[in-house]
Amino acid sequence: MSAVPSIPQRGDAVLTNLQLIDGLTPEPRGGLALVIRAGVIEAVVPAADATDSAIDLDGAFVMPGLVNMHTHFSLSLPGAGGDAVAALSPDALALYMADGARRTLLSGVTTVRCVAEKGGADFALRRAIEAGHVPGPRIFTAGRALCCTGGHGHDTDDTIECDGPDAMTRGVRSQVALGADLIKLMISGGIAGEHEQITTPQLTRAEMAAAIETAHAWGRKVTAHAGPAAVIAEAVELGLDCVEHGYELTPDVARLMAERHVSLVPTLVVTRAQAFFDDLGIPPWMQERSLGAGPRHLESYRHAIDAGVDILLGSDMPPFWDFEGTSAVVRELEHMQAGGLSASQVLSAATAAPARWLDADDRIGILAPGRFADLIAMPDDPTADVSALRGIDFVMKGGVVVRDEERIVR
């Protein structure tokens, strides 16, 4: 018997009979084929020129794989479901996270940005995926987030409590040393902290400045869990690169974000997640806070759109979670469209725009020669309505088919 190989990371393929949404032109284009070599798109050619054995996509709409910019594979919220995750041993947690990574990839998310994971397991998971030991998306990670003593997320192993500028500097350096691609700060309260409010400021100006300055010196961008406008404005003035949630933006602060090229990951689904909360046994106080924040959260999102802030996809909930008839990541995209972005703008916010923020747009985010063959396919046109993504039935990462419900190779 021959040796059993690791999971292939790069493949060769030709895809034909498709409608291409490449992220460069606004309308789907037919009559083309994608030629993939060693995991990378080698050429986009007329379908008639595709002479190799090809995967016939039966007229499906093909677009870049989704890039989810707010992911937690080790998420443990208050309640019975979260308590079970928090109680996992390190080895059990690693297996749990590996399963989440696999399911995330199968849901059509080919790249994630992890923004607070427990105990360094995200770095091990990234290495395991890259080595072909387990299937999963490409991972960019912040490692553990930095918070103040008693701050947002302090009671789990996915944060480090840092008080004062020196501690913040050490916190940033500690995550960079482990391999963090970015830094995550908890600068205000949020939904999941029982003894805080969304509006609670949690880092001093000096602490934020130290963390941001240190991260930038090491070539890392900084994103921040943030709710109130005043706290966000102060962080933006100090050089913050991205805001998570942004529950209470004002028009003025949204304009400041746009002027400073600060992105927003709105995570609209987290204030519209009753069924998810019920699944996990979330306590009443958190449910009330979350659902009660929904109208202001949507208003804040619309301020960002009106100001021209760069909007990026992020689900916060596990991307693969079975939620309201689809996955959590698709439900987030539907909320983004319903909240004011066009379907094409939502698709950009889920592909090309995150790739730019990650400084990875030479590798992911569009379907063009030289980019990884990370793509998804579905029967209906997502440029007309992002709800078409409910029909994802084909996923490829690096030229390797990882999900194929309908296709045949001829």
Are 328 and 379 within one domain? no
Tracing tokens 């995209």 back to the chain, one arrives at: 333
Q: Which residues contact 164 (CB under 8 A, 6 or more apart)?
A: 206, 207
Q: What is the pLDDT of residues 81-118, one digit of tens each?
A: 999 999 999 999 999 999 999 999 999 999 999 999 99
Are 102 and 119 within one domain? yes
Q: What is the mean pLDDT of residues 282-288?
A: 92
**Crossing angle of helices 294-307 and 251-259, rounded to 10°:** 40
Q: What is the pLDDT of residues 208-257, one digit of tens each?
A: 999 999 999 999 999 999 999 999 999 999 999 999 999 999 999 999 99
Are 49 and 104 within one domain? no
CATH code for position 257: 3.20.20.140
Tokens in use for 363? 């590798």
pLDDT of 408 reads 43
Query: Among 132-141, 271-280, 294-303, 309-318, which is the least confidently predicted range?
Result: 271-280
**For residue 410, is pLDDT > 60?**
no
* Residue 37 forms part of a structural domain: yes
Name the average pLDDT for the chain: 95
Are 146 and 277 within one domain? yes
Tokens in use for 116? 């607070």
Cα angle 163, 126, 203; round to 5:
15
Instruction: Provide the strand spans (E) within 152-295.
Output: 159-161, 182-186, 221-228, 242-248, 263-265
Buried b (16+ CB within 10 A) or exposed e, 304-330: bbebebbbbbbbbbbbbbebbebbbbb
Q: What is the mean pLDDT of residues 176-196?
A: 94
Are 101 and 40 within one domain? no
Are 79 and 42 within one domain? no
User: Among 357, 380, 401, which residue terminates a domain?
Assistant: 357
pLDDT of 192 reads 85
Name the amino acid, one letter, at 260. Answer: R
Are 152 and 289 within one domain? yes
DSSP code string of 56-96:
EEEEEEEEEPEEEEEE-TT---SSHHHHHHHT--HHHHHHH
Q: How confident is the model at residue 207 (pLDDT cuts 50, 70, 90)?
A: very high
Are 257 and 381 within one domain? no
Are 240 and 283 within one domain? yes
CA 259 to chain centre: 24
Tokens in use for 390? 């409910």
Q: What is the pLDDT of residues 326-385, one digit of tens each?
A: 999 999 999 999 999 999 999 999 999 999 999 999 999 999 999 999 999 999 999 999
Are 302 and 391 within one domain? no
Query: Which domain covers residue 53, as residue numbers?
Result: 13-65+365-409
Taking the C-alpha atoms of 300, 191, 113 and 158 in order, what is their torsion angle to the nearest 10 degrees? 150
- The total number of structural domains that make up the chain: 2
pLDDT above 70 as % of the chain: 98
CA 7 to chain centre: 23
Are 94 and 185 within one domain? yes
- Closest-CA residue to 394 (of 117, 59, 91): 59
Q: What is the pLDDT of residues 22-33, one digit of tens each?
A: 999 989 999 999
User: Among 313, 331, 357, which residue terminates a domain?
Assistant: 357
pLDDT above 90 as % of the chain: 91
CA-to-CA distance for 328 and 321, rounded, in angstroms? 5
| Phi/psi of residue 244, nearest 5 degrees | -95, 130
